[in-house]
Amino acid sequence: MTTRLSDIADEAGVSVMTVSNVMNGKRARVSPATIEKVLGIAARLGYVPNIPARSLAANSSHIVAALVPVGENNSLLVSPHTVAVVGGMETHLRHHGYHVLLRGIEHEDQVAQTIRGWSLDGVVLVEFPDEQIDRLRVDTVPLVAIDSYSANPRTIGVRSDDHGGGRLAGRRLADAGHRGVLFAGPPYQGMGVVGQRWAGFREACLEAGLDPGGVGSVEVLTSFEDGRRLGLRLRRDHPGVTAVFATADHLAVGIMAGIVEAGGSVPGDVSVIGFDDLDFARYTTPGLTTIAQNMPAKVAEASRIILAEIERGAGAGDREPVALDVHLVERGSVGPPRA
């Protein structure tokens, strides 16, 4: 026999609406004791929600999509940053009664297709280039873009203080006495995440008195292996460089590995700073000095905003972007320049 909401309500001595709110994650106006009682009865009676029926009745799928741009036939869970964002977001939304649809996007038109095909309640764009977000013309569901500087009025950006993080890295290397420094990051257009980090880094280095010719940059894809290849050729291609600022921790760790493989040492020959402060940054030898962004707070804020936009039933567009503070975490990968 199928257990109904009314069965739980009768045994708990509350209304069907109260039970519905508890089971759907809308618990702000329900006491903790009632929540515990309803959930206990539901578990004992083996209640299983009829998701399609619930969605039809509420005119809501209770599905939020996390969309990630990928190349054809590539996995979307390569970047540790993506894994951290999606994992944290799923936890937040699950606790509010929502399911997360994880989808790799190979072509821009797949964004609108996914929204229509799955009757989504909201979309979180993860690591999309700003120029792609600028071109999106979606006004049926709220859109939150993580790490975005897009001017698209239909999206709400949630990001870290990338410019400030670049400044912290530049100031740290200049204070250590480095005069030949290199910025390493992926190709970019405009003043998105990478552009902001480069601008802040260069600004701080020049303010510290470094010669503009000693502040270089190199384009490298954000992966351990591409970082390793840069580290291997660093002494040959950039002989005057004594310190590198990489735009991501896994890129920085790859650079460190390549430097060591080529016979150098970190920080004895080259100092390295990363960006993110992901868990593995503390397990390298030496530990990676990095610019820490508050990933849990960023994910929580993105989840909170998408839920608020869904709740109010209006398209995004009248919210200011959210920028979270960053700070420097000292470990062992930065030291004075070699003689």
Q: Is 216 exposed, middle or buried (0-12, 13-18, 19+ CB in 10 A)?
A: middle
Is the model's pLDDT at 200 over the cut of 60?
Answer: yes
Q: How far apart are CA 67 and CA 106, in angstroms?
A: 10
Contacts of 294 by beta carbon, 8 Å cutoff, 6+ apart? 160, 324, 325, 326
CATH fold of the domain at 162-293: Rossmann fold (3.40.50)
pLDDT at 271: 98
Task: Write the pLDDT tens digit of every residue in 125-148.
Answer: 998 999 999 998 887 889 999 999
| CATH number, domain 63-160+295-323 | 3.40.50.2300
Task: Write the pLDDT tens digit of every residue in 155-177.
Answer: 999 999 999 999 999 999 999 99
Task: Write the pLDDT tens digit of every residue in 55-96.
Answer: 544 556 789 999 999 877 677 777 888 888 999 999 999 988
Nearest 5°: CA angle at 129, between 128 and 135? 95
pLDDT at 53: 52
Task: Write the pLDDT tens digit of every residue in 13-35.
Answer: 999 889 888 887 778 788 999 99
Q: Is 119 exposed, middle or buried (0-12, 13-18, 19+ CB in 10 A)?
A: middle
| Token code pair at residue 6 | 């009314």
What is the model's pTM?
Answer: 0.80
Q: How far apart are CA 110 and CA 165, in angstroms?
A: 33
Q: How far apart are CA 79 and CA 92, in angstroms?
A: 20
Domains 5-49 and 162-293 share a fold: no
The residues spanned by each domain of the chain are 5-49, 63-160+295-323, 162-293
CATH fold of the domain at 5-49: 434 Repressor (Amino-terminal Domain) (1.10.260)
pLDDT at 245: 98
